[in-house]
Amino acid sequence: MADFVDLRSDTVTRPTSGMREVMAAAEVGDDVYGEDPTVNALEAEVAALFGHEAALFAPSGSMANQIALQLLVSPGNELLCDADAHVVTYEIGAAAAYGGISSRTWPAVGADIDPVAVAGMIRPDGYFAVPTRAIAVEQTHNRGGGGVIPLATLRELRRVADDAEVALHCDGARIWHAHVADGVPLVEYGRLFDTLSVCLSKGLGAPVGSLVVASAEKVERARLIRKRLGGGMRQAGILAAAGRYALAHHVDRLAEDHARAARLAEVVAPFGVLATGVRTNLVPLDLTKHTLDARSLAAAARVEGVLISVLGPRTARLVTHLDLDDADIDRAAAVLPRILSA
Ligand SMILES: Cc1ncc(COP(=O)(O)O)c(C=O)c1O
């Protein structure tokens, strides 16, 4: 939105002129026939980045997650994840509605997962209990303030999954941010999971697109599930070209978004409203001890040209992204303390 500093989400970015150029020039074909060369190139590229055999382009992160969950958990069986996970918070009951999947959650702890506690939740076959088939984690964690799950914790979870013979899924909508923040190679993350969903439209700046990353056998099945969900796209190379451009140009620069988020965290911290430490591009605000509630803060900020997200009565969020520069952050850094100190 013109004249606003839009800190609501990293999904609000618009394609850059360089990105639009490659979109316009993209070679395309019918991707439901498997004939779009740009989609095929993107899928091969992303599979290789994560050290997997194959990948499948999907229209959204939600669809990519749901395809992966259906690959791992058959109807009447169970998924374990945290209570704040995107898959159980913002996907409108899709795992149950479309996959017949039963979900059970551990308490919301963001990226601070205890693998021993997760192991204790796993239910094996027998005695008519719903058997656990998969565990899902989120890297970085959206409602967990952009927190990064440490590599050691993920390795421990892999051991837990292997011991129990259950699968491990990563909702990696912002896995790029974890890679940049912790310096962990994407291939390291890739080898720990049976399936990953990764987004090109959050932080990386593509207008549309996510991928399911997995073995060749799983991706073959994923193709059928995507079609069943209505996600088969035709000349999708126009979108895949944007994704390829985003991967080439917009991953390393995420460090700038992280630094800008850290700066925003610094200016709001003295008002006691920072919910957690800030590791990546999300700045979660907890207003339980402040006189302003989230709606009042957002309304006052809007009047001064700054847009923020309201996540609950007393929770809000600031997000940095590709369409913001230092001048925008300066503006927000002037406005927010003024409102919070009033
Ligand atoms: C962690 C996480 N997973 C999945 C999604 C879903 O992506 P989409 O909005 O493309 O469905 C989001 C969206 O913000 C997200 O934050």
136-181 pLDDT, tens digit each: 999 999 999 999 999 999 999 999 999 999 999 999 999 999 999 9
User: What is the side-by-side order of every strand in the sheet holding 315-319?
Assistant: 282-286, 315-319, 309-312
> What's residue 194's pLDDT?
99
| Identity of the amino acid at 159 | R
Let me know: does 332 contact 319? Beta carbons within 8 Å. no
What is the Cα–Cα distance from 20 to 27, expressed in whole angstroms? 14
Q: What percent of the chain has pLDDT over 70?
A: 99
Q: How far is the CA of 332 from the centre of ligand 1 (A)?
A: 25
Residues 6+ apart with CB under 8 A from 2: none
What is the Cα–Cα distance from 88 to 104, expressed in whole angstroms? 9
Verdict on whether the full-model pTM lies above 0.75: yes
Question: What digits encode the pLDDT tens for the residues 170-220?
Answer: 999 999 999 999 999 999 999 999 999 999 999 999 999 999 999 999 999
> What's residue 244's pLDDT?
98
Q: Whose CA is nearest to atom 6 of ligand 1?
A: 61
| 32 — pLDDT class (breaks 50, 70, 90) | very high
Q: Is the pLDDT of residue 33 over 70?
A: yes
What is the Cα–Cα distance from 192 to 262, expressed in whole angstroms? 29
317 burial type by CB count under 10 A (0-12 exposed, 13-18 middle, 19+ buried): buried
Q: Whose CA is nearest to atom 4 of ligand 1?
A: 61
> What's residue 249's pLDDT?
98
Q: Mind spelling out the 3-state secondary structure of the chain?
A: CCCCEECCCCCCCCCCHHHHHHHHHCCCCCHHHCCCHHHHHHHHHHHHHCCCCEEEEECCHHHHHHHHHHHHCCCCCEEEEECCCHHHHCCCCHHHHHHCCEEEEECCCCCCCCHHHHHHHCCCCCCCCCCEEEEEEECCECCCCCECCCHHHHHHHHHHHHHHCCEEEEEECCHHHHHHHHCCCHHHHHCCCCEEEEECCCCCCCCCCEEEEECHHHHHHHHHHHHHCCCCCCCCHHHHHHHHHHHHHCCCCHHHHHHHHHHHHHHHHHHCCECCCCCCCEEEEECCCCCCCHHHHHHHHHHCCEECEEEECCEEEEECCCCCCHHHHHHHHHHHHHHHCC
Directed axis angle between helix 254-268 and helix 175-182, to 10°?
Answer: 80
Substitution site in 141, 202, 311 for ligand 1 pocket (most atoms within 8 Å of beta carbon): 202
| Identity of the amino acid at 18 | G
- The reply to whether omega before 140 is within 30° of 0 (cis) is yes
| 233 — pLDDT class (breaks 50, 70, 90) | very high
Mean pLDDT, range 275-281, rounded to an integer:
95
| 22 — pLDDT class (breaks 50, 70, 90) | very high
> What's residue 202's pLDDT?
94
> What's residue 127's pLDDT?
83
Ligand 1 nearest atom to the CA of residue 85, by list position: 1
Q: How far is the CA of 333 from the centre of ligand 1 (A)?
A: 27
Ligand 1, pocket residues at CB < 6 Å: 60-62, 65, 86, 138, 142, 171, 173, 199, 201-202, 210
Residues 6+ apart with CB under 8 A from 250: 203, 204, 205, 322
Structure tokens at 257: 């978004």
**222 φ/ψ angles, rounded to the nearest 5 degrees:** -60, -35
**Arithmetic mean of pLDDT over the chain:** 97
Least confident of 123-127, 252-256, 282-286, 317-321: 123-127
Ligand 1 nearest atom to the CA of residue 63, by list position: 11
Q: How far is the CA of 234 from the centre of ligand 1 (A)?
A: 23
Ligand 1 nearest atom to the CA of residue 174, by list position: 1
Structure tokens at 128: 């008519």
Q: How far is the CA of 88 from the centre of ligand 1 (A)?
A: 11
Mean pLDDT, range 86-99, rounded to an integer:
98
User: How far is residue 302 CA from its own chain's centroid?
Assistant: 26
Ligand 1 nearest atom to the CA of residue 65, by list position: 4
| 1 — pLDDT class (breaks 50, 70, 90) | low
Let me know: does 260 contact 326? Beta carbons within 8 Å. yes
What is the Cα–Cα distance from 184 to 139, expressed in whole angstroms? 12
Q: How far is the CA of 127 from the centre of ligand 1 (A)?
A: 36
Which is nearest to 137 in space by CA: 167, 93, 92? 167
Q: How far is the CA of 276 from the centre of ligand 1 (A)?
A: 21
Structure tokens at 147: 């927190």
What is the Cα–Cα distance from 162 to 167, expressed in whole angstroms? 8
> What's residue 2's pLDDT?
62
> What's residue 342's pLDDT?
82
Q: Whose CA is nearest to atom 16 of ligand 1?
A: 142
| 297 — pLDDT class (breaks 50, 70, 90) | very high
What is the Cα–Cα distance from 129 to 126, expressed in whole angstroms? 6
Q: How far is the CA of 311 from the centre of ligand 1 (A)?
A: 15
